[in-house]
Structure 1
Amino acid sequence: MGAGIAEVCARAGLDTVVCEVDAVAARAARDRVAASLDRAVRRGKLAPDAAADALARTVFTGHLDDLADRQLVVEAVVENPAAKTEVFAALDKIVEDPDAVLATNTSSLPVMRLGMATGRADRVVGLHFFNPVPVLPLVEVVTSLHTSAATTAAVEEFAARTLGKTVIRSQDRAGFVVNALLIPYLLAAVRMAESGFATAADIDTGMELGCAHPMGPLKLADLIGLDTVASIAESLYDEFREALYAPPPLLLRMVEAGLLGRKTGRGFHTYDQA
C-alpha cells in the first residue's frame, strides 16, 4: 500500500519521500515502485519518460527524520494500534511545518486515537486508499472529532484534484464505509469454507460467475492479506460487538501459521512467488 501511494504521488508530479524501517526495506520499496511503473509502461498505461520521471522524483530512505520538511505525510505501516500510535507521536516531533497534514491509511483504526498521540489533532485525518492504489480510483476521507474543516478540505482537494481519485467521506468508525460492508462478506465466505459447506474455489467461482464480482471473496481476502483482514475484523468486533464481525477460528489459525495469502504464496489459494 505504501509503495502504491508513493507511486501515485510521484506520477502526479509531486516531490515524494518514502520512509521505510531501514535501508534494506527502502531498497525493496524502490524495487516495488520501479516494478509497478514498468508494468504500467508495458501495458500502455504510462509513457516510458513519465515512468522514469516519477522514479527520479522519489527518494527512498530508512530515516524518519527525512520527513521533516514534508507538507503531507501519509502513514501506511502495519495495521497495529501501538505501531501506528508510535509513528504519529514521532511524526509530531519531526515534521516541522505546524500546518502540515498527518494522514493515516488505516483500514479500521480510530483516527481520533492517532490524532491524540500528537499535539496537532486538528491536522490528523484518515486518507484510506485501496489496493492496488495506482488502479483503484477510490479514497475514503475520515475525519475525527478534532479534524479541522481546513484539513478536510485540503486532503479532499489533494486526493481529487492532484491524484485524480474519487473521494467519499466517512465518520470515524471502525471499518469506515467500505470495510464495514466488505469484511462481514469476506468473513461469511471464510465460515462457509471452514464448515466444509463448499470449497474455496467453488465459493469464489460462485461469486465471480453468479454475481459478476471481478474477484471471489477468498481470493480478495488473499489479496488484501489474511492478517490485515483479521486485524480489521478484530477492530470492527471491538467497536460494535456484533457476531458478524468476529474473525472465524480458521482465519486466526491461518494467520498464526503465516499463511497470509498472496504475499506469502499461500492462503485460501496457492500463488507463484517467482
Structure 2
Amino acid sequence: MNAIKKIGVVGAGQMGNGITQVAAAAGFSVIMMDVSEKALEKGLQTIKNSTDKLTQKNLLSALDRETLLSQIKTTTKMDDLKDVDVVIEAATENIELKLKIFIELDKIVKPEAYLFSNTSSISITKIAAVTSRPERVAGMHFMNPVPLMKLVEAIRGIQTHEETFQLLRQLTEKMGKVFVPSQKDMPGFIVNRILMPMINEAVYTLHEGIADVESIDAAMKLGTNQPMGPLTLADFIGLDTCLAIMNVLYHGLGDSKYRPCPLLVKYVEAGWLGKKSGKGFYNYQK
C-alpha cells in the first residue's frame, strides 16, 4: 500500500470528480482524465464548490483545502496516466465503453499498476479478461455523492488475486470509506441487485396508475423510513443509469422480474434523465 502514491481517475462526471476529491483528500496525487475539456472544467469546479462548502462548515481548513486542490491535475490524454499506481475507471455505465477503456489503459499504464472499475453492475470478470493483467483488476464501486457516502462495494472477478483485493481494502480505508466485499461477481453485485428492482417497481407503480410520483415517494419515505423516495433517488442517480443497470440484471440473470419498466425506457428515450437533464420524474427547471 505504501507504494501507492499516484492515482488516475477516468471520467470527470459526478462519480469521477467525487472519487478524485476523496483520493486527493487522502493525500494521493490524482490525475483526473476525461476526453472532454468541458467535463474536466465542470468536474474541477464541482470539487472546488464541494470543498468550499466543507471549509464554510469548518469541516476542512482553508490550508487543507488548498493542499487538496493542489494534488489534482486534469488531462484529456490517456497517455498521461502511464505512470500512475492505480487507475479507477468511472465512465458511463456502458459495457462497450468500459471494455474499450480497459483495453486502452492496459496498453498505456505501467504493467505493475492496478486497474479498478467503479461499475455499479457490469461483470468484473469480463472487464478483467480484456487486459493482460486480469489478476490486478477489481471492482471499486463508490456511492453517490462520493464525498458523503461511506460505502465502497468491492468486487473481485474470478481472476482477481487476493493481494489485489487486500490492497483495494487498504486503499478504501485510506480514503475514509467502509469496505464491503461482494462474494460473487454477479450482475448488480449487492446494492443494485436490491436497490434497482425496488426503483423499477416504483416506476411500474406509477406506470400502472396505482399512485402519482409524490404519493409513491411519500409512502416509501414515511412507511419504510427511507430518507429519500425511490423516484427522487432515481432522478439523482440518473434514469439512463437506472435503465442500464436494469438491462444488465435482466439480460445477465434472464429473469423476467428484472424487465425494465416501459415507462423508464420511454423517459430515457425522451432525454428525461433526472436531475442532470433538468427533468425526470420531477421537474428541476423551475
How much has 1:44 moved relative to structure 2?
3.0
Aligned residue type for 1:114: I
TM-score by length of 2: 0.92
How much has 1:43 moved relative to structure 2?
3.0
Which range moved further: 131-140 or 203-212? 203-212
Structure 1: distance between partners of 2:94 and 2:162: 27
How much has 1:76 moved relative to structure 2?
0.5
Aligned residue type for 1:219: T
Conserved 8 A contact 1:122-1:146: yes
Structure 2 segments unaligned to the other structure (5+ residues): 1-14
Structure 2: distance between partners of 1:22 and 1:77: 12
Are 1:72 and 2:86 matched, yes or no? yes
SS of equivalent residue, structure 2 residue 265: helix
Map Cα deviations across residues 188-223 of structure 1 (whole Å, 9 max, x no partner): 100001111101111101111221110000000001
**Residue number among 17, 40, 47 corresponding to 1:33 in the alignment:** 47
TM-score by length of 1: 0.96
Aligned to 2:106: 92
Aligned length: 271
Structure 2: distance between partners of 1:26 and 1:183: 29
Structure 1: distance between partners of 2:37 and 2:227: 37
Map Cα deviations across residues 233-256 of structure 1 (whole Å, 9 max, x no partner): 000011112222111000001001
Are 1:192 and 2:205 matched, yes or no? yes
Measured on the aligned residues, the alpha-carbon RMSD in Å equals: 1.1
Aligned to 1:15: 29
Are 1:250 and 2:263 matched, yes or no? yes
Map Cα deviations across residues 128-186 of structure 1 (whole Å, 9 max, x no partner): 000000001000110011000110010111101x1111111112111001100111100
Structure 1: distance between partners of 2:240 and 2:256: 19
Conserved 8 A contact 1:29-1:60: no
Identity, in percent, stands at 39
Aligned to 2:220: 207
**Residue number among 223, 231, 246 corresponding to 1:218 in the alignment:** 231
Map Cα deviations across residues 25-44 of structure 1 (whole Å, 9 max, x no partner): 22222112111112222233
Aligned residue type for 2:119: T
Structure 1: distance between partners of 2:162 and 2:139: 13
Structure 2: distance between partners of 1:235 and 1:44: 42
Aligned residue type for 2:94: N
Aligned residue type for 2:210: F
